Chain A
Amino acid sequence: MSYELVLFTIVTASTPFLLAALGELVTERAGVLNLGVEGMMAMGAACGFAAAITFDSNAIGVLVGMLAGMLTAAVFALAVLGFAANQVGCGLALTIFGLGVAGMIGNRFVGLRRIQIAPTEIPFLSDIPFIGKALFSHDIFVYVSIILTVLVAWFLSRTRLGLMLRSVGENHVSAQALGLPVRRIRLGAILFGGACSGLAGVYLSLVYTGFWAANITASKGWIAVLLVVFAAWRPVWLVVGAYIFGAASVLQLHAQAAQLGIPSQLLSSVPYVVTIVVLVILAWVHGRNAGGPGSLGNPYITDR
């Protein structure tokens, strides 16, 4: 087992975390807590895989996966923006719903395989000894996830729309008083979150594994939700968090393969235990100054 390979797999394992968490971060910065990431990811994975097989095209698969994530997110948006329904409850419902529908769609494709999307080696950089192969000969989505992180950071801090989005998330009452289109901005953020989760799901089925299986998401969506808290709602920190969790899940797999005599269930539970420990540490460190968006999770009611 070469460390180069380990490093390589950590990068691929971390990418879906990063993609999904980026979407959730934007959604939460707009003041909406969408706990349905797991469901949207499953939808992306199932629909993307189904489309890629049906049309024999990865491009169509990726596109359909993202659309599926957005469509699932739109259901959530209708409930929480249209009806001001409880966001926590709806997020949970969306997870159950998404997992169910994804199962229905994926069912017909169980057992089929598709060659994983091939890596793109970056000329010259990938020839750097030791780290070149591990860092610069990845599939395109790895690069996309990093570029997207930078774009999101830029969007939030430097653009007018980003400022509006943050304002809406910070205090929707003030935002309304200033005449900002609260619902439209939130709708956009929720749909963006859905697209990102869908992409993360497609990544799982078309790149990471090359097939569809029930429970392909395995709580990765929930970890993405956690990462947003971990990053204290800052895009750049998401990368750190995603790679820590990516590393934990890969090392756990390697430990299982190495047959150290540790029960496999114990190793499988590592990411979940890590999640809880991280949550506790974060809460302890941040205290009550967690710094989340002010209106996060509150229903938007125009009382006048």
Chain B
Amino acid sequence: MRLELSPRANITPLMRLAAPIAALVLAFAIAAIVIAFYGKSPLQAFDVYIVGSLSDSWALQELLVKATPLILIAIGLSYCFRSNLWNIGAEGQFVIGGLFGGWIAIATHGGEWSLVWPYVLLVGAVAGAVYGFIPAILKVRFGANEILTSLMLVNIAQLFLDYMVRGPLKDPKGMNFPQSVTFEDAALLPKVFGSDRVHFGLILAIIVVLITMVIVSRSIFGYRLRITGDAPKAASFAGFSSKTTTIIVFCISGALAGLAGASEVAGQIGQLQPTISPGYGFSAVTVAFLGRLHPVGIVLSALVLAMVMIGGENAQIMLKLPLDLTTAFQGLLLLIVLSADALVSYKFRIVRGRRG
């Protein structure tokens, strides 16, 4: 027996929509089996993971808070992935954005400032963009593989944050705990929608989503990104320099990840800690692909992933299920989503008896 794959002639929008949904269902089904192996009832788990995170207003607010950074980062990543560039370092850009944004908040601590948080966000975004620029320039100038450099930069960023929080930025009156001062109100993002949890970051995320929708559907820049990813030689024939594209998309995605980091620090945590991300930068990769790199898809899949993350925390407490289950689930989901993508693009045929 041998397998043959050939490009499909007609791909309907329905198929494109169905693929990620089917992938999600399959991933949940596999997770249910695993949970059953742990001796827990999958139904109970369903209750904890899904119903629990949608049941009351507190849970829904939590969902939005978690989805905010995921949306921001994943939208940024979608710019890279569309142009077939692999920024795997969003986690690092997030951390750097949070660190430098937080630095502004700490530097202005105790001063007579009335409005600090916009600068926190701005500095966070710029810092993230600069950090994203590093793998881009190394790729463009020297040809260094962006996957490995951006990933190594994640580790470096985390160590740098760790050092800063235990060293220069440590709260002097904090009894030697590795954390910074608590930000003052002027440096904290305002809460929105009458919620006491959901912060201004969500508004930013919505704005970014809307702008991105216009860019991808109508602008020549969106066309540039797509064609750079889909047919690089045709892109250069059209006069789009791939080097410039690389720099631009890495800066955009770095800036959005940095913005997410700053808004997480100033909107959610309220101080700097040795760890400021439960892996948003990596989850966002799954979010981007599950959302088929489309802005609306990304919003929906960010909500799904946020739900899974919250569910994972709840399940750890209520069902004694390991938190790593959530990590494994995300990896599995990404594998299935990518495979489902291929199922849409190619025709499958099993040919019997021979190979060739």
Contact = CB atoms under 8 A, between A and B. Distances in A.
B174 interface: no
Contacts of A95: 331
Interface stretch (A97-105, A126-134, A234-242): A97-105
Contacts of B339: 78-79, 82-83, 85, 90
B152 A276 contact: yes
Ranked nearest first, the 6 interchain pairs of A and B with the lowest CB-CB distance are A97-B331, A100-B328, A103-B324, A100-B327, A96-B331, A93-B334
Given A86-B338, A104-B328, 19 more contacts: A79-B338, A88-B147, A92-B88, A96-B331, A100-B326, A101-B324, A219-B155, A226-B148, A265-B159, A276-B149, A276-B152, A279-B144, A279-B148, A280-B142, A283-B143, A283-B145, A301-B5, A301-B7, A303-B7
B235 interface: no
B131 to A, nearest CB: 13
A2 interface: no
B342 interface: yes
Contacts of B6: 301-304
Interface in A50-76: 75-76
B340 to A, nearest CB: 8
A253 interface: no
A94 B332 CA distance: 8
Interface in B1-36: 2-7
A301 B342 CA distance: 11
B138 A279 contact: yes
Contacts of A84: 5, 342, 346
Contacts of B303: none
B280 interface: no
A96 B147 CA distance: 15
B356 interface: yes
Contacts of B343: 83
Contacts of A90: 334-335, 338-339
Contacts of A176: 356
Contact of B324 (A79, A104, A272, A299): A104
B267 to A, nearest CB: 26
B162 A265 contact: yes
Interface of B: 2-7, 86, 88, 138, 142-145, 147-149, 151-153, 155-156, 159-160, 162-163, 167, 282, 285-286, 289, 322-332, 334-335, 338-339, 341-343, 346, 355-356
Nearest to B331: A97
A97 B335 contact: yes
A80 to B, nearest CB: 9
Contacts of A225: 148
A222 B4 contact: no
Interface string A100-117: 111110010000000000
A284 to B, nearest CB: 5
A49 to B, nearest CB: 15
Contacts of A261: none
Given A89-B289, A95-B331, A275 B325 contact: no
B167 A263 contact: yes
B332 A97 contact: yes
A302 B6 CA distance: 6
Interface residues of A, number: 62
Interface of A: 35, 39, 75-76, 78-79, 82-86, 88-90, 92-104, 107, 176, 179, 181, 183-184, 219, 222, 225-226, 229, 263, 265-266, 268-269, 272-273, 275-276, 279-280, 282-284, 286-288, 290, 299-304
Contacts of B335: 75-76, 79, 85, 90, 93-94, 97
Contacts of B330: 96-97, 100
A85 B331 contact: no
B163 A265 contact: yes
Given A98-B331, A104-B324, A299-B342, A273 B147 contact: no
B325 A100 contact: yes
Contacts of A288: 143
10 contacts: A83-B342, A84-B5, A89-B289, A93-B334, A96-B282, A101-B328, A222-B151, A266-B163, A268-B159, A286-B143
A35 B329 contact: no
Looking at B156, B331, B339, B341, the one whose CB has the most chain A CB atoms below 10 A away is B331
A100 B329 CA distance: 8
B331 A280 contact: no
Given A273-B156, A303-B6, A263 B138 contact: no
Contacts of A79: 335, 338-339
Looking at A88, A183, A265, A284, the one whose CB has the most chain B CB atoms below 10 A away is A265
A284 B289 contact: no
A190 B156 CA distance: 30
A275 B152 contact: yes
B27 to A, nearest CB: 11
A104 B322 contact: yes
Nearest to A78: B339
Nearest to A93: B334
Contact of B355 (A96, A101, A179, A268): A179
Contact of B143 (A92, A107, A284): A284
Contacts of B143: 283-284, 286-288, 290
A272 B156 contact: yes
Nearest to A87: B338
Nearest to A86: B338
